[in-house]
Structure 1
Amino acid sequence: MAEQVPSTSPSEPQGPSAASASAPSTASNTDQQAQPSDPPLPKLSPSDFRTYNRMADHMQHFHSHFLSTYTTLLSACQVGKRPQGMSLRQFLSLASTFVSQLTMHHNIEEQHIFPLLATRMPAFKKELSLVGQHRQIHEGLDKLEAYLDECRSGERELRLGEVGALLEGFGDVLMRHLEEEVEQLGAERMRRYWSLEEMRRLPM
């Protein structure tokens, strides 16, 4: 299942511009950075919670798909046998699709979503954890993609143990990233940086 580019593009007029996000009318970026000592906020209504949690829910949909595919691939490698009924060609295709979809997903985030969120939210700045995790994940994805290319060309015989080692090489950071990214986009964190109206316009 190929990932679809978010239907609300940052270039469309519905979304807030980076300029407006970086210069909110009521407070500076520094003032809006949530601190550990921030007091608890009033309980959200179910409707407001859904609005504030919209990006987390959307992201979780993609992450569940990536986790399922990664688990299928790694489990096959650990038992040394492809899933029942899956040919070698299909296994290679599944692994290659995993690499390409995850790469596209991260490219969309870094080009269209993270820069806007980073105007107020430190976790999405280029030098900090989430983007840094992307870099670590893609070091492993690049190695896996190169291996798969050699198998498809006939230069190398596919060995599940070797594929498993490549998957495990970035598995820990991938699992951490899938969890932390959704957590950063959750309602209780997003409400500290964005108004309800802004949440409705943020691209995802």
Structure 2
Amino acid sequence: MASHSEWASKPFALCSTPTAALPEGQKPDMFDDIASTMAVTHNIMIRSLNSIYQQAPYVREPDVPAFLGYSLTWCQMLQLHHDGEEEMCFPAVERMAGEPGIMGTNVEQHAAFQEPLDRFKTYLQDSQKGEVTFDGNRARELIDEFGPTLTEHLHDEIPSLLGLRRFGVEKMKDLPKVFEAEAQDNMGKAGMVAGGMMAFMSHDVTFEGGLWKNFPPVPWILLVIIRNTVYWVHSDWWKFSPVDRYGQPQPQYARPEGS
């Protein structure tokens, strides 16, 4: 098996983490940690999107309802992430830095892909309601309208977070607390059986040589519950995921016949 979920690493490229790029023996500072955590989080979203894109044309009719549930959960996960940034993280960053507007570019990038993203979500909802017949090639066309802009933003946000180093650790010392609060808020809104589970099912523990195998840091008993109880609520969705319930790469489920 490949060292990571290669089929879900395209067409949209994954983010590399600043921590992995540090010279051997150099410990990451607070800004490396925050930017790397964001990169890993963004990769969860990119892998999920890639898995939708790669499989959409090959989903068999009996699997369409599960695939729509899976895809709509991705839409929710992404929307919660960006809303949380705009409502909680970005204003807090600007207050700490004492420079209003420094995160404005990130907000503008969100707006740039929102409309085509909404069209994709509406198409999925209309398919779910039976108002249109789901067409995987049409789904791909809609992803092509926002995917490049979205993923460019997800990559750009990493150096923008590293750039906060110029304000100094003392001034920005509450950054980890702010980003952790936003992550917890999003998890609560997403719910563990849908958005939360999708996050686990899109995090490849073998990425960057296993550097992020313990991400996210949760108690072992919670992992046991997630893998052995929560997973089964929508187990028909997770066959489309890049990884299995242990974070190990799994084969592409919906694929061309004979491949």
TM-score interval for Structure 1 and Structure 2 normalised by the shorter chain? 0.5 to 0.7
Matches within 5 A, 1:182-193: 182-186=158-162, 189-193=163-167
Matches within 5 A, 1:83-122: 87-118=63-94, 119-120=98-99
Higher relative contact order (CA 8 A, sep 6+): 1
Q: What displacement does 1:75 show?
A: 1.3
Residue deviations 1:14-61 (CA, integer Å, cap 9, x gap): xxxxxxxxxxxxxxxxxxxxxxxxxxxxxxx944x4212222122112
Residue in structure 2 matched with residue 179 of structure 1 by the alignment: 155
Matches within 5 A, 1:54-133: 54-77=33-56, 80-82=57-59, 87-118=63-94, 119-120=98-99, 123-125=102-104, 129-133=105-109
Q: How many residues align?
A: 150
Q: What displacement does 1:120 show?
A: 3.0
Gaps of 5+ in 1: 1-44
Q: What displacement does 1:192 show?
A: 0.6
**Partner of 1:197: helix, strand, or coil?**
coil
TM-score (norm 1): 0.67
Q: What displacement does 1:198 show?
A: 3.7
For the aligned residue pairs, the C-alpha RMSD in angstroms reads 2.3
Residue deviations 1:125-171 (CA, integer Å, cap 9, x gap): 2xxx2111111222122111111111111111000111111111001
Q: Is residue 69–residue 98 contact of structure 1 (8 Å, CA) maintained in 2?
A: yes
Which residue type is aligned with residue 42 of structure 2?
H
Q: What displacement does 1:70 show?
A: 0.8
TM-score (norm 2): 0.53
Matches within 5 A, 1:144-183: 144-183=120-159
Residue in structure 2 matched with residue 7 of structure 1 by the alignment: none
Distance (Å, rounded) in 1 between the aligned partners of 2:86 and 2:101: 14
**Partner of 2:134: helix, strand, or coil?**
coil
Distance (Å, rounded) in 2 between the aligned partners of 1:52 and 1:120: 18
Residue deviations 1:46-96 (CA, integer Å, cap 9, x gap): 44x42122221221121000000111111123xx2039xx92122101110
Which residue type is aligned with residue 57 of structure 1?
S
Distance (Å, rounded) in 2 between the aligned partners of 1:107 and 1:172: 20
Q: What displacement does 1:117 show?
A: 2.3
Matches within 5 A, 1:10-21: none
Distance (Å, rounded) in 2 between the aligned partners of 1:144 and 1:58: 27
Percent identity of equivalent pairs: 24
Which residue type is aligned with residue 197 of structure 1?
E
Distance (Å, rounded) in 1 between the aligned partners of 2:92 and 2:155: 21
Larger CA Rg, structure 1 vs 2? 1
Distance (Å, rounded) in 1 between the aligned partners of 2:102 and 2:39: 17
